[in-house]
Structure 1
Amino acid sequence: MKTFYIETFGCQMNAHDSEKVVGTLVHEGYTQVVDEAEAGLILYNTCSIRDKAEQKVFHRLNEYKRMQGEGKKFAVIGCVAQQEGQKIFERAPYVSLVAGSASYRNLPDMLARLEAGETRITGLDDRETEETFDTDFTSRSNPHRGYITIIEGCDKFCAYCVVPYTRGKERSRTSASVLAEAQRIAGLGYTEIQLLGQNVNSYRDPSGKRSFAELMVAVGEINGIERVRFTTSHPRDFTKDIVDAIDATPTLCNHVHLPVQSGSTNVLRAMQREYTREWYLERIAWTHAAKRDISLTSDIIVGFPGETDQDFEDTITLLEAVKYDSIFGFKYSPRPNTPAIHMHDSISEEVKAERLAILNTRQREIQREHYARHLNQVDRVMVEGGRNSRGQVLGRSMQNKTVNFTCETTPTVGSYVDVKITQVFPSSLVGEAVSEAIAPSAALLAQQALNARVVVLS
């Protein structure tokens, strides 16, 4: 029996890539196991976004070294694989396959070569490809949300970001292929779909039939689909028709993740983001003017080379102007192959840590104030987990907020419950059920049972 074990690290794109890799392996006759000791093939799906990611990869590979005498084969895939390339073979000669995400469509051929005894197989030269990794064999590990990648790669070349160098140029799927996959997901019983891309709203339909906003609406109109989410947007391609589509289409979730990275135009210019603070705030004004209450979240980097006290203060005042419902804050760290690695990293680690603490403290205060608007609202919540130690059920609102609520009976994961919000906290809502759960379809229950046998670690 051909068996495999896979570990996945990084963003939701990586997690969904692993779902497609798992599906491809299963289609090629492999069986997934939950213990690396039982696997004939061990795959490590890597991420290069965080600091020292490549060091963590080699540390993990060193842990695998003890198993090389057991006849196991090893594969490193994903962003660090593309970034480090042949160096992986040099530092970990027991690795047999190194492949970046742009070459996943060639996995069946690479697996055949691996089985034939080849020991140094690479998929590292496809970053200029126009093709995407479309497959009918995705093993969906999420029990209640179906993911669809609609665009791969990135053309933005922000000064700090390694993604264009590891995932290649932007290339979109046709709207017909996206809608066909969405139909398949709906047929499995899923009621929520999340559209994915490094810059999801940079989507350009190769067939010219639909804009990104029109594609979202079309997915939201599929029978059985209750919610459509998307991540991650880039401000440069965030257009007014996206807000209009959310306003007009009840199935489109009223949540936009729009990474700003800095509130200072000077820093944005140094980051090569190619927009200004004022330009970004114009897009925020569109969402504030919408009829629906659109939740806004963002990513922010502090301590980018050259960031002055005034630049940092501009970021704090941006928080106050936008009133994000949450942010992901990071200290700047240089990444290989990026333009910023050649900049003098003039901000000390102590100052970076201090600024990140100030940023998070102010954002928490804003969330404490801003979440109060939900008190006494009734929100429809999708159930995502069982009861916690306080007897509350875990769910998520249309705005992607965590809702912990009480109810008489424990609803099934994937069902929907109307919940009245009785308490608000800076990062979550608490409420009580005011309706009976709308149970998931029999098809989704069957799919959940199948998913329970598929393991993707994150």
Structure 2
Amino acid sequence: MQPGLWCGSVEEIHLKTFYIETFGCQMNAHDSEKVVGTLLREGYSQVVDEADAGLILYNTCSIRDKAEQKVFHRLNEYKRMQGEGKKFAVLGCVAQQEGNKIFERAPYVSLVAGSASYRNLPEMLARLEAGETRITGLDDRQTDETFDTEFTSRTNPHRGYITIIEGCDKFCSYCVVPYTRGKERSRTSASVLAEAQRIAQMGFTEIQLLGQNVNSYLDPSGKRSFAELLAAVGEVNGIKRVRFTTSHPRDFTKDIVDAIDAVPTLCDHVHLPVQSGSTDVLRAMQRDYTRDWYLERIAWTKAARRDISLTSDIIVGFPGETDRDFEDTITLLETVGYDAIYGFKYSPRPNTPAIHMHDSIPEDVKVARLAILNARQREIQRENYGRHLDQTVEVMVEHGANSRGQITGRSTQNKTVNFMCDSTPPSGSYIDVRITQVFPSSLVGEAISVPTVPSPALAAQQALNARVPVVH
């Protein structure tokens, strides 16, 4: 039987259609690609409208309260569909965090599964089809299993994602990931390289390696360090760009910078979350490094032969953060000169040590500090982006013409480039662009070369891919 086809009653045919919505990060988006691949393999068909689906799945994020609330808001919106015979599943971090409580909060949900239990998805689907209404697949934090599947439905038309490490052992005091994703467990370098080769054979030219702490990778076979794996992926035939996210400063070693310098296909961009510029706050966050430790790694990166773009995550208003601590964050911002940051107000998360700390920073102070942080970063970015004026950069095309007639793509430094072109180059193609205008968060230019057209294999893959909605 072909995937997506089902012989049975009207109810069974309806059940064998699914709609999936993804909340959160690239890890979640790639997990959804693997879930979709598994569902298709099990004979389901994907639809792009929840009204047409027999099974509605939400792959969830619990890093911030806002993302978690979106999930329950969406469930509440769609509970009216329960009477239509639809079934609902909650997957991912919120599922792991809340467990059976989800059935109490949303009794029309039939399946709750954490990310490490996706390997058991075929068995859980069979139970769902048999009529069970309270199915749980909750992770064992000590599991050594990873969710590897050759049935991944690669829905991103521009790049192929590969998860090389799952889980987290860092236990930062504010973070739920160790409790929702389990302990760190890495795939063998051989399995990663085999997947990279399959992706290249499909016609993709960009690969992004993923992990909660991607550079904490430890090859179970002992053959390659993270930096050596990076270099090996970059040398796979047909691959033009390799990215990786997210790195942890504790495991950021100089050989990573050396690899970027040595292997041209490794993108000149490092995302290295600092969270705070204050050593005292970093200690309270249980980050296990100091401001000086972090800045040493920045110094390695700035000393590279290539111009490596730096981005980061920063939390303001952590319990006990003084005005002096916040000033340390601003001065670190200025010292590093990031090309972008993702700034957040601290919010307590369930099961974390920080939830027991007195949240001493008033909300209006958090709001003010975040505004100051973003304003200063915008000034830094305006200056940083200015250095690209009149440069020629290679851009990978991601979107066709917008309302202004501009094509949108991304540079190897992960910067958005909007450019004019005589014709619309296909998605996934590469083209040289001369930068004529700069903004704090994007570059504008004119195409000066004929695009390198993506392979027919990638074009076919793009045509077959079903849309997987991602909510940020």
Q: Is the 8 A contact 1:172 1:203 kept in 2?
A: yes
Q: 1:284-329 CA distances to partner (integer Å, 9 max, x unpaired)?
A: 0001100000000000000000000000000000011100000000
Q: AA paired with 1:78?
A: G
Q: AA paired with 2:20?
A: I
SS at match of 2:470: coil
Aligned counterpart for 2:60 among listed residues 28, 32, 46: 46
In the other structure, the counterpart of 1:194 is 208
- Number of residue pairs matched? 457
Q: Is the 8 A contact 1:18 1:456 kept in 2?
A: no
What is the rounded CA distance, in whole Å, between the counterparts of 2:242 and 2:70 in structure 1?
35
What is the rounded CA distance, in whole Å, between the counterparts of 1:15 and 1:71 in structure 2?
27
- Which sits farther off after the overlay, 381-390 or 267-276? 381-390
Q: Is the 8 A contact 1:53 1:80 kept in 2?
A: no
Q: 1:63-121 CA distances to partner (integer Å, 9 max, x unpaired)?
A: 22211111111111110000000101112222111000011111011111111111111
- Root-mean-square deviation (Å): 1.0
Q: Note the C-alpha offset of 1:61.
A: 1.8
In the other structure, the counterpart of 1:21 is 35
Q: 1:97-150 CA distances to partner (integer Å, 9 max, x unpaired)?
A: 100001111101111111111111111142211010000000111111100100
In the other structure, the counterpart of 1:183 is 197
What is the rounded CA distance, in whole Å, between the counterparts of 2:73 and 2:460 in structure 1?
39
SS at match of 1:260: coil
In the other structure, the counterpart of 1:225 is 239
Q: Is the 8 A contact 1:141 1:456 kept in 2?
A: no
In the other structure, the counterpart of 1:455 is 468
Q: AA paired with 1:389?
A: S
Runs of at least 4 residues of structure 1 off by over 6 A? none
Report the TM-score when normalising by structure 2.
Answer: 0.95
Say whether 1:106 aligns with 2:120. Answer: yes
Aligned counterpart for 2:304 among listed residues 269, 275, 290: 290
Q: Note the C-alpha offset of 1:53.
A: 4.2
Q: 1:348 to 1:131 in 2, by over 3 A?
A: same
Report the TM-score when normalising by structure 1.
Answer: 0.98
What is the rounded CA distance, in whole Å, between the counterparts of 1:308 and 1:430 in structure 2?
40
Q: 1:154 to 1:434 in 2, by over 3 A?
A: same
What is the rounded CA distance, in whole Å, between the counterparts of 2:73 and 2:302 in structure 1?
46
Q: Is the 8 A contact 2:23 2:67 kept in 1?
A: no
Q: AA paired with 2:279?
A: T
Q: Is the 8 A contact 2:24 2:470 kept in 1?
A: no
Alignment of 1:221-300 (within 5 A): 221-300=235-314
In the other structure, the counterpart of 1:380 is 394
In the other structure, the counterpart of 2:10 is none
Q: AA paired with 2:65?
A: D
Q: Note the C-alpha offset of 1:457.
A: 3.3
Q: 1:418-447 CA distances to partner (integer Å, 9 max, x unpaired)?
A: 111111111111111111111111111111
Q: Is the 8 A contact 1:76 1:99 kept in 2?
A: yes
Say whether 1:327 aligns with 2:330. Answer: no
Q: Is the 8 A contact 1:193 1:229 kept in 2?
A: yes
Q: Note the C-alpha offset of 1:390.
A: 1.8
SS at match of 2:400: strand
Aligned counterpart for 2:78 among listed residues 61, 64, 74: 64
Q: Is the 8 A contact 1:148 1:178 kept in 2?
A: yes
SS at match of 1:387: coil
What is the rounded CA distance, in whole Å, between the counterparts of 1:59 and 1:228 in structure 2?
37
Q: Is the 8 A contact 2:189 2:221 kept in 1?
A: yes
Say whether 1:435 aligns with 2:449. Answer: yes
Q: Is the 8 A contact 1:143 1:414 kept in 2?
A: yes
Q: Is the 8 A contact 1:19 1:456 kept in 2?
A: no
Say whether 1:173 aligns with 2:187. Answer: yes
Say whether 1:364 aligns with 2:365. Answer: no
What is the rounded CA distance, in whole Å, between the counterparts of 1:24 and 1:235 in structure 2?
34
In the other structure, the counterpart of 1:139 is 153
Q: AA paired with 2:114?
A: G
Q: Note the C-alpha offset of 1:52.
A: 4.7
What is the rounded CA distance, in whole Å, between the counterparts of 1:439 and 1:67 in structure 2?
44
SS at match of 1:374: coil
Instruction: Among all aligned residue pairs of Structure 1 and Structure 2, give the percentage whose two residues are the same amino acid.
Output: 85
In the other structure, the counterpart of 1:212 is 226
What is the rounded CA distance, in whole Å, between the counterparts of 1:329 and 1:78 in structure 2?
24
Q: 1:12-59 CA distances to partner (integer Å, 9 max, x unpaired)?
A: 110110000000000000000111111111111111011254443333
SS at match of 1:301: strand
Q: Note the C-alpha offset of 1:373.
A: 1.3
Q: Is the 8 A contact 1:139 1:454 kept in 2?
A: no
Listed as ranges, the gaps of 5+ residues in structure 1 are none
Q: AA paired with 1:151?
A: I
SS at match of 2:121: helix
SS at match of 1:43: strand
What is the rounded CA distance, in whole Å, between the counterparts of 1:380 and 1:237 in structure 2?
30
Listed as ranges, the gaps of 5+ residues in structure 2 are 1-12
In the other structure, the counterpart of 1:422 is 436
Q: Is the 8 A contact 1:396 1:402 kept in 2?
A: yes
What is the rounded CA distance, in whole Å, between the counterparts of 2:295 and 2:409 in structure 1?
31
- Which sits farther off after the overlay, 243-252 or 111-120? 111-120
